[in-house]
Amino acid sequence: MIEQKVIDLIAEQLGMEDKSNITAETTFDGLGMDSLDKAEITMKLEDLYNITIDDNIRFRTIGDAVNYIQTNKEYVLNGSADWLKKKINPRFSLF
């Protein structure tokens, strides 16, 4: 599911109608992406999955990006509320 969304996003960014040749093994450089394309896709992925991708991270393949998203999405889903639980006074309710 994540892989297909990443492929769809890249194809849209590059104006590609045929996505059949984009796989997990496809390299970003092999798609002819320039630095602006990569930056825009990174921002879209961050927004879509509510994650932060460090500026120092460079994905070589589509699969690298998918693995990073899966790992960090799991962290957000499983651990993001822990800090909130510690800060909320148990005498008060959010609802």
| Positions marked active-site | 34
User: Where does residue 14 rank: exposed (0-12), middle (13-18), buried (19+ CB within 10 A)?
Assistant: middle
Integer Cα distance of 19 and 31 in angstroms: 11
For residue 11, the Cα-to-chain-centroid distance in whole angstroms is 15
Give bridge partners of residue 27 from the DSSP assignment.
61
